[in-house]
Structure 1
């Protein structure tokens, strides 16, 4: 076959496979659109809107935007990290329980399935629990209760980080002791191997002498054949024993390497959980504090908020060790700032509409204008917080699926897509029990699973040997998301772009 025809067939094959894998990942994202939009509609048309609108009068529009933004992003981050840490714990437990020799493929496959299920369940349950807590706090104590909840949660996350760090150090010490014991055992085995080798050398010499003797005497009968057959059988047996010994050593090294990596992953993500939300919490506390103490004027608080955001971003970016949590914390902080600005802008638009209505001859009281402003600001704060939390969950899921082993990316794409559909089905079945807040938080699990599928598809797109495979995979992602979901090209394109950005970041 000519080289040009081979290249053409290779390009067509890469394009077809890439489009199919991308379409599967895009379908996972598209499947989340309808239930998420339904949950959003229930929030803005339900009983949660009134206490949120009342919160505008208490903390001001900027304070409301930062509070809801920080709460939404913290919930999304916590749910995603709960899934990652639970998957790591599950894999570590399986490694400890499966110390006996087993096939590498069986071990990897079983661990991948168990870790994926643990991640999906923990992310969904954590999001549902946080959603129920947030809904209860808002209905009982108003939006201001979110400020104290954020503060308590920040302290709690720091405490969890300290405990996990101490636990990981203890595991590392135990691993060092285990490695030392294994080294002593390996030394003993080496001595035994030397003795066995010596015995084997003597045996081989005896066998060689027998064969030489047979050659000299020109023995051609069955006895000579029996000697040669026995010698070959013994040689095959020795080779089989040596092969089994090598496999046992490779399996032990593999398990130890996986255990060290999982311990590192868990420590890194708990560190991310502890510190990534601090800039957002500080921003929300300062702006909401100005509003509570009666200094909620837009221009004054906006200047303070802008200076605070820029100063914290400058300090984090100037750090000698820019970690993943620092970058994500800055992104979350600027997202919170954007939500606050959109909240204020919605209130100003309501004022402009009211002025136009007055000029047109309609009589509007000051109370009606204020109520309209509060309602518009509340709707914008909820919608913007909802949108940013979706992007955050998809991005964090992509940061998990992107750095995975290239050999399992296709399985991850399909498995994460199936998990997305399963989570959506379970959440819709339990919607009456979970309530609005629980359903909204549980859907974060579906968005996280869709993000994992998108991240794996993004990694596949980047790893193709040609530009055709990359473009086809990306086109499949967009087509699957638009075909299964809604034909919102801007929203879908932004989510795919966020998946690309976070999939290229290795948080380990």
Structure 2
């Protein structure tokens, strides 16, 4: 379906609105379908038992340290799982192309996108479940200090892992270079066949001239039949040469695009988490030495965020990971502030009640303050990580639509895969545990984000306003309706997803 081709054969305004509404509703319904499972998982994670390690950590690292640590860990999980899915999809697509399955035919292109899409969605969900389960085990076993160490070590080891992956990727490209050898061999075979055909025609012409010069008569095959046969053979050779050149060009174009995606997203995976991890480590460090609630920590935290953000944005070689790294750092800062504010509100309310004659002990007030701080930290971190995952998925969906991967295929395919994974995760939830289920659901939100991002790109591509308005209306109505009218959550997520869908990470 060509949405940007106005003129003859294009859809009327009313039909554009109808088609756009249907496409938007598919992406919106999938986004809304993730709301209830995510909320149920979050409610389980905020019960008294799972929340106790966080409450204990308030006294260890302070509310600012807890908020920044929980936010950085949640965002790291979301970003890592999303990038793992993208890289796995790129690896599968590269293998698909290297096997020369990517030919000019429409059927083979569908196979490429389907295999890559399935690999990406599965990789995102599996890695999310893995990181979520590991994080839960670390918190339950070693507390938030253990999570701080794990986050720090993981952040330190990601750049060397990037170098190792680049080496392995180059080795994989070398192993897959047989496709280029096959193309060269086929070119040589066609050139040989072309040369032999030319020589054969030349010999036939010379023999005919000699026969006529000697006064002989032509016997056997009719000359016109012979020339017609030779002409058809030559046309067949030329057609094969053109088909091979087209297929080779397409293979090289897609492989170059895949290589670019891998390079950019491996850099993203290696470096984007550094700014927010630095913020979490410093604020947690202040908490460990007894300054978890001191106002100076807020001032230092604000200064760190401003300095790091300034140097990243002012970089002469500004990259996509820098943009997302700044946003992740800012989100970590906001989560820390919300955590501190929740504890202060609980303390103020308890103080007022005590002044009014309520006989509440200091331990009960402390428990209430720690509970509110932990609850706010987890709620805010979960919402931000969900929005981050949705946005990263939208970036992929928008890029695919702009690359003409097929609007309907991307929107419906991503929604179908996300819905299938959602059903599987709900069945496996008891085995995955709360952390694993939460991570897997975040991965599914990323897959749904691909559909949402594709819808956003389609809304922009319509040549007339009715198509754009119909697409946006379908997205919003589908998301809000299926999402049980969570207007605030969805209303905050969709604009962010739209911005990322319009962003070109390459």
TM-score (norm 2): 0.90
Distance 1:376 1:465, change over 3 A: same
**Matching residue within 15, 18, 30 for 2:17:** 15
| Residue 118 of structure 1, CA deviation | 1.1
Cross-structure match for 2:3? none
Q: 1:296-352, CA deviations, whole angstroms, 9 ceiling, x for partnerless residues?
A: 233110000000000000110111111000000000000000000000110111012
Per the alignment, in what secondary structure is the counterpart of residue 248 of structure 1? Answer: helix
**Matching residue within 274, 298, 301 for 2:297:** 301
Q: Is the 8 A contact 1:104 1:251 kept in 2?
A: no
Cross-structure match for 2:255? 259
**Matching residue within 302, 305, 316 for 2:312:** 316
Question: Which stretch of structure 1 is more off in the superposition, 158-167 or 456-465?
Answer: 158-167
Q: Distance in 1 between matches of 2:378 and 2:50?
A: 10
Cross-structure match for 1:430? 428
Cross-structure match for 1:65? 67
Q: Distance in 2 between matches of 1:65 and 1:137?
A: 17
**Matching residue within 381, 386, 398 for 1:390:** 386
- Runs (5+) with no aligned partner, structure 1: 212-216, 218-222
Correspondence list, 1:262-411, <5 A: 262-404=258-400, 405-411=403-409
Cross-structure match for 1:458? 456
Cross-structure match for 1:122? 123
Q: 2:502 matched to 1:504?
A: yes
Q: Is the 8 A contact 1:168 1:267 kept in 2?
A: no
Question: Which stretch of structure 1 is more off in the superposition, 350-359 or 61-70?
Answer: 350-359
Question: Which stretch of structure 1 is more off in the superposition, 366-375 or 393-402?
Answer: 366-375
| Residue 46 of structure 1, CA deviation | 4.7
Q: Distance in 1 between matches of 2:459 and 2:210?
A: 63
Q: Is the 8 A contact 1:406 1:460 kept in 2?
A: no
Q: Distance in 1 between matches of 2:118 and 2:12?
A: 35
Correspondence list, 1:206-217, <5 A: none
Q: 1:5-59, CA deviations, whole angstroms, 9 ceiling, x for partnerless residues?
A: 9999611111111111010000110010000000000000152101100000000
Q: 1:355-402, CA deviations, whole angstroms, 9 ceiling, x for partnerless residues?
A: 221233212222221111110000000000000000000000011110
Distance 1:439 1:180, change over 3 A: closer
Q: 2:154 matched to 1:153?
A: yes
Cross-structure match for 1:228? 224
Distance 1:205 1:95, change over 3 A: same
| Residue 264 of structure 1, CA deviation | 2.3
Q: Is the 8 A contact 1:79 1:445 kept in 2?
A: yes
**Matching residue within 431, 441, 444 for 2:442:** 444
- Runs (5+) with no aligned partner, structure 2: 1-6
Q: Is the 8 A contact 1:18 1:472 kept in 2?
A: yes
Q: Is the 8 A contact 2:102 2:251 kept in 1?
A: no
Q: Distance in 2 between matches of 1:161 and 1:372?
A: 44
Q: 2:72 matched to 1:74?
A: no
Per the alignment, in what secondary structure is the counterpart of residue 505 of structure 1? Answer: coil
| Residue 166 of structure 1, CA deviation | 2.4
Distance 1:104 1:354, change over 3 A: same
Q: 1:441-500, CA deviations, whole angstroms, 9 ceiling, x for partnerless residues?
A: 110121011100001111111111112211111111001101111212222122111111
Cross-structure match for 1:469? 467
| Residue 185 of structure 1, CA deviation | 7.7
| Residue 158 of structure 1, CA deviation | 1.4
TM-score (norm 1): 0.90
Q: Is the 8 A contact 1:164 1:267 kept in 2?
A: no
Q: Distance in 2 between matches of 1:143 and 1:392?
A: 22
| Residue 204 of structure 1, CA deviation | 7.1
Distance 1:176 1:435, change over 3 A: closer
Q: Distance in 2 between matches of 1:284 and 1:361?
A: 39
Correspondence list, 1:408-427, <5 A: 408-427=406-425
| Residue 229 of structure 1, CA deviation | 4.4
Distance 1:186 1:234, change over 3 A: closer
Question: Which stretch of structure 1 is more off in the superposition, 228-237 or 266-275?
Answer: 228-237
